[in-house]
Homo-oligomer: A and B are copies of this chain.
């Protein structure tokens, strides 16, 4: 029995609020269990190369150091831990950061309000979450436009309806029609009420992280939140080698409340890191070592994820590029470094630079999704819906990518070597020149034998042509519409829902709108 199943059992037996709520969510749609890989990771670096990168990362931490900006408390913590602090520069003696990182757990459970949807992050698992952060949305009808809260809610519903998506995500798009200092409240309320999958907290201000914790205390119960992880939030490092006080303030809130954070260098190679793969891996390793070590100074055992958001730059235009071989090599290499540190790993996603959900978008995305699976990623943010270098959350691409995530589930299964898998009786039965369509083995297995897209076109040319010769984007537009029409809100205890709404209303009333 996996840890998640055990916890589910305990919570079920306990007859707590969450279990009762889950029982009422009987109309909820099917969501696949998070991926448990039964295939090996692709290891592109040998031990000697990994040793060099780790040694170099330690050299950077010791000689160059990292900056903790506007953050005297962090500097005090580092000084007490044995680092050399000079102004905002923290130089970390060789071995210290790695030693501090050892108290971070190698995997953890993030609980969902529906225990069936809880996920275990780490080990051989892969948890898929949607795109995060775009200020714009696009669909075939409306074109490209600033995102609103109405768009946000549609994406949360689509995520809830997507079988292969395990996680509701965070800022699926920026609801630009809500004040910056209040939109986190509306976003969390949407994740909590429109979906029952796990979600992310706010990181744009330490106070907003605190609000996220408090809303979770209403949803899950105060005691449950203190004992369990119910949010995974995204803490970006300001690469190269800089930790700003806002992100660190959010990390501090989450770590002290035992909530998980992805600690993630944000790198456009050639701008925020060297143009070389090994150089970028060295910097990623140094930054994650420092960031994870700091999380453990805040609270030993705080759950964290080794993050690596890495893309390359087009030296012609200066634009970030996606689905490139160099980004793939960094993603593979960083996965090996994360496993070396015994930490869960976040990377990859539905990355593309294309302006439209066209063939370019799909090539780049497929390159990145495949690489993410084979690199041993444990938490894949941006796994669907990303467009135009992350500036746009695209409705059609969201369901196109979400469909492809089903293929990752199929790949991860590996090869069934049971007697049924070996199919010797079928080969004997059919023999030379026959066909397998009607044989007993096919009849017994065909329903589950092959992954099948819920979106792509498999029809004969003539049928497809008669039906309007629709391309993928058109099929996806139809699917977006269908999913939103079919959507039914998962049941939530009305007293909890009104407490959440009251909390949000009070918070909003307590401060003027700010759009900065």
Give the total of A residues in contact with B, Cβ under 8 Å.
126
CB distance from A308 to the nearest CB of B (A): 14
Stretch with Cβ within 8 A of B (4 or more), from A126-134, A204-212, A411-419: A411-419
| Distance between Cα atoms of A179 and B127 in the complex (Å) | 56
- A496 at the A/B interface (Cβ < 8 Å)? no
Cβ B415 vs Cβ A315 within 8 A = no
| Distance between Cα atoms of A328 and B415 in the complex (Å) | 11
Q: Which residue of B lies closest to A465 (CB)?
A: B355
Cβ A432 vs Cβ B66 within 8 A = yes
When each residue 351-380 of chain A gets 1 if its CB lies under 8 Å from chain B and 0 otherwise, what string results?
A: 001111111111111110011001000000
Copies in the complex: 2
- A276 at the A/B interface (Cβ < 8 Å)? yes
Cβ B411 vs Cβ A325 within 8 A = yes
| Distance between Cα atoms of A42 and B44 in the complex (Å) | 10
Cβ B432 vs Cβ A279 within 8 A = no
Known pairs A270-B446, A432-B66, A461-B388; A326 contacts B420 (CB<8 A):
no
| Distance between Cα atoms of A65 and B430 in the complex (Å) | 12
Q: Which residue of B lies closest to A451 (CB)?
A: B325
Known pairs A276-B445, A279-B422; A270 contacts B415 (CB<8 A):
no
Cβ A274 vs Cβ B316 within 8 A = no
Stretch with Cβ within 8 A of B (4 or more), from A71-79, A169-177, A180-188, A434-442: A434-442
- A428 at the A/B interface (Cβ < 8 Å)? yes
**Which residues 24-43 of A sit at the B interface, judged by CB distance below 8 A?**
39-40, 42-43
Known pairs A355-B469, A407-B324, A437-B271; A278 contacts B432 (CB<8 A):
no
| Distance between Cα atoms of A394 and B453 in the complex (Å) | 23
| Distance between Cα atoms of A271 and B281 in the complex (Å) | 46
Cβ B42 vs Cβ A42 within 8 A = yes
CB distance from A433 to the nearest CB of B (A): 5
Known pairs A314-B452, A422-B56, A422-B282; A354 contacts B457 (CB<8 A):
yes
Q: Which 4 A-B pairs have the closest CB atoms?
A: A279-B423, A325-B410, A366-B366, A362-B362
Known: A241-B431, A272-B435. 14 other contacts (CB 8 A): A40-B43, A64-B428, A240-B427, A240-B434, A240-B435, A277-B416, A279-B426, A324-B407, A325-B410, A329-B411, A360-B457, A360-B471, A360-B472, A363-B363
Interface residues of A (CB under 8 A from B): 39-40, 42-45, 49, 52-53, 56, 59-60, 63-67, 89, 144, 238, 240-242, 269-283, 286, 312-317, 319, 321, 323-326, 328-329, 333, 353-367, 370-371, 374, 388, 391, 397, 400, 404, 407-411, 413-417, 420-424, 426-428, 430-437, 441-442, 445-447, 449-453, 456-461, 464-465, 469, 471-473, 476
